[in-house]
C-alpha cells in the first residue's frame, strides 16, 4: 500500500482564508432583524457555509418576505461589509506562500457568488490560485460535492489526492462527498474529527508537510476463487504467485483454497495469512491483528481479519463463499424460470449472506472500514435489474457498496463477468452457451473506490483442455483499488 501524493490544496474562502464568515453572519442577522426575526446560534446550520439563495429561501419561510427580495438584501449587506475590509485568517497568507514555494497547486472553492469571490481574490492576490469555483459556476453548491469536483476537473487532478481546507460542517460535507481529505479549521461552529478529516485550531498550525500526510493510502484488494486450490492446472501454485506479484495487490480474499493455499502463498510471499476451514483464507502484506468468524467453517461460509495497514489505519477484510446450487443463471437460461421463482430459490445463499452480515456486525468497530469479498454464486440486482436478486440486495441494505459497479455504473458497457473464462459452452455436452455472469464481488463500507476491474492472465483454453492454462482458475478475479483514510 502506498500513499497517494498530494496533488492540490482546495481552500474554502469565507471563514477559512478570510474572516468573512462572521461578516456573512452579521449580514444575515441584520436582514433578519429588520424583518422581525432575530437569529441565534441554533440558526447557524442554515446560514454558515450556505449560499445566499439557501439562506434567503430559509428566511422567506420564517419572515414571509419574498426570497428574491431577501437575496438582494443579503447580497447588499454582505458586499458592504466585504468592501469595508477583508481580514485574512491567522496563518492563511503564510500557508498560501509556503504551498506556492513548493509548487503545490491551489484552488479557491466557495459558496459565495462570483462578484464577492473576485473582490476577495483581488485582496489576497488572484495569482495565488490556479482555479476558482464559486456558487455561480456549478448547478449545485455546497453541501453538494459539485464545487470540489469542478475544481478537480479544472486542475486535472483526482479528488482522492487533494486536501480541502474548510471551516464549516456544510463545507466539510461537500469536500468529503467529492472524495477529498479534509483539513478542518472551525471558525464559528465546532467540527468533530472523523476518518479522512483532521481538525486544527488555526491555519497557523498547518504546513505543507502536514497537508502531504493527509491524502489516503492506496490499498488493492483481490477476490479470487482458486478452483479447488488450483489443482486442475499444472504448476498452479507458481502461477498463483505470479498473478499476485504481477497485479500488485496488497490483500487477497481466497475461496476454494484446497486447505493449504493461503499458508503456502503467504509463506512464499513473506506475507501474513489466515486460514478458516478447508476452503477460505486471507493473505495480506500487512499484519493481521484480529481474526473473525468460525475457524472451522465448512466449505461454504465466511471468515474475516483485521489488518493494520499503517499508523491510524486499520481495515476489516472478510472472504465469503456461498453455495453454488441451485444456480439462478442456469434456471433462467435453461429452465425458463421467472423472477419470483428465481428469487425464491436464493434462500440458502440469502441465509448464508445474512449469517455473514451478522458476524460482521458483531466484530465491527466504529471507524474501521470494511471489505467483504467473495464468490457469491449469484448475479447482482445492480446488473440484472429485472430481477431483484436478494443476496446482493441484503448486502446493500446492510450498508455495503459494490466497488465494481461504483467504478463502472453501466452493466451493459462493463458487464464484469467472472463466470467463466473457461466455460464458453455448458459442460454437459449439449453445446448450449454458458451464461456469463458477474458472481464474484468486492463490496465495501467506509472506503473510496479508485478503480475496480476483473483479471484473467493470458487467454485460457476452454474446459476440459485446461491443464496447461496460465490462468489457474475457472473464475476471473476481481481487483479493487481503494483509498484508505486515517481514522479521525
Catalytically active residues are 12, 14
β-strands 2-3, 181-184 pairing: unpaired
**β-bridge mates for residue 181, sequence order:** 163
DSSP-assigned letter for residue 184: E
Residue found under cell 446450487: 325
Strands (E), 256-300: 272-276, 280-284, 288-292
Query: Quick one: angle between helices 261-269 and 236-247, nearest 10?
Result: 60
Q: 426 is written with which cell numbers?
A: 455448458
Q: Which residue has the cell 440458502?
A: 348
What is the C-alpha R_g of the chain?
A: 27
Backbone angles phi, psi at 351, to 5 degrees: -65, -40
3-state secondary structure 226-242: CCHHHCCCCCHHHHHHH
Identify the residue whose cell numbers are 489576497. 124
Kindly report the backbone phi and psi dihedral angles of residue 448, in degrees, each rounded to the nearest multiple of 5, phi listed first.
-115, 125
Residue 164 to residue 182: CA distance in whole angstroms: 5
* Dihedral sign computed on CA atoms, order 335, 338, 342, 344: negative
Amino acid at each position: 500500500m502506498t500513499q497517494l501524493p498530494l496533488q492540490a490544496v482546495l481552500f474554502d474562502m469565507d471563514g477559512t482564508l478570510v474572516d468573512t464568515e462572521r461578516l456573512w453572519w452579521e449580514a444575515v442577522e441584520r436582514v433578519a432583524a429588520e424583518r422581525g426575526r432575530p437569529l441565534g446560534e441554533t440558526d447557524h446550520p442554515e446560514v454558515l457555509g450556505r449560499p445566499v439563495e439557501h439562506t434567503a429561501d430559509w428566511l422567506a419561510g420564517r419572515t414571509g418576505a419574498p426570497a428574491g427580495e431577501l437575496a438582494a438584501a443579503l447580497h447588499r449587506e454582505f458586499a458592504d461589509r466585504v468592501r469595508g475590509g477583508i481580514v485574512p485568517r491567522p496563518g492563511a497568507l503564510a500557508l498560501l506562500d509556503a504551498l506556492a514555494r513548493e509548487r503545490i497547486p491551489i484552488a479557491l472553492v466557495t459558496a459565495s457568488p462570483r462578484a464577492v469571490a473576485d473582490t476577495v481574490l483581488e485582496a489576497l492576490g488572484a495569482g495565488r490560485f490556479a482555479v476558482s469555483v464559486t456558487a455561480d459556476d456549478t448547478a449545485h453548491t455546497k453541501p453538494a460535492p459539485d464545487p470540489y469536483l469542478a475544481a478537480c476537473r479544472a486542475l486535472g487532478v483526482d479528488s482522492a489526492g487533494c486536501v480541502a481546507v474548510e471551516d464549516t460542517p456544510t463545507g466539510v460535507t461537500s469536500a468529503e462527498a467529492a472524495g477529498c481529505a479534509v483539513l478542518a479549521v472551525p471558525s464559528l461552529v465546532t467540527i468533530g474529527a472523523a476518518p479522512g478529516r483532521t481538525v486544527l485550531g488555526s491555519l497557523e498550525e498547518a504546513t505543507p508537510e502536514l497537508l502531504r500526510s493527509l491524502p489516503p493510502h492506496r490499498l488493492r484488494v483481490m477476490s479470487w476463487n482458486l478452483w479447488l486450490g488450483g489443482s486442475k492446472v499444472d504448476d498452479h501454485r507458481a502461477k498463483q504467485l505470479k498473478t499476485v506479484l504481477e497485479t500488485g495487490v496488497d490483500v487477497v480474499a481466497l475461496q476454494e483454497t484446497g486447505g493449504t493455499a493461503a499458508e503456502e502463498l503467504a509463506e512464499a510471499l513473506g506475507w501474513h495469512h489466515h486460514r478458516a476451514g478447508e476452503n477460505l483464507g486471507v493473505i495480506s502484506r500487512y499484519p493481521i491483528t484480529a481474526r473473525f468468524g468460525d475457524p472451522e467453517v465448512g466449505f461454504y461460509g465466511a471468515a474475516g481479519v483485521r489488518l493494520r495497514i499503517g499508523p491510524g489505519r486499520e481495515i476489516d477484510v472478510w472472504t465469503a463463499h456461498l453455495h453454488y446450487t441451485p444456480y439462478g443463471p442456469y434456471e433462467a437460461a435453461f429452465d425458463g424460470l421467472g423472477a419470483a421463482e428465481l428469487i425464491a430459490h436464493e434462500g440458502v445463499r440469502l441465509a448464508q449472506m445474512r449469517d455473514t452480515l451478522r458476524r460482521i456486525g458483531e466484530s465491527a468497530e466504529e471507524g474501521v472500514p470494511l471489505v467483504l469479498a467473495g464468490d457469491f454464486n449469484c448475479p447482482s440486482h445492480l446488473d440484472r435489474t429485472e430481477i431483484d436478486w436478494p443476496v446482493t440486495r441484503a448486502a446493500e441494505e446492510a450498508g455495503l457498496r459494490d466497488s465494481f459497479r461504483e467504478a463502472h455504473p453501466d452493466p451493459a458497457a462493463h458487464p464484469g463477468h467472472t463466470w467463466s473464462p473457461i466455460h464458453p459452452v455448458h459442460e454437459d455436452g449439449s453445446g448450449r452457451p454458458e451464461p456469463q455472469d458477474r458472481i464474484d464481488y468486492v463490496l465495501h463500507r467506509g472506503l473510496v473506490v479508485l478503480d475496480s476491474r476483473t483479471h484473467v492472465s493470458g487467454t485460457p483454453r476452454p474446459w476440459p483442455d485446461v491443464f496447461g492454462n496460465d490462468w489457474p482458475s475457472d473464475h476471473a478475479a476481481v481487483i479493487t483499488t481503494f483509498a484508505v483514510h486515517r481514522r479521525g
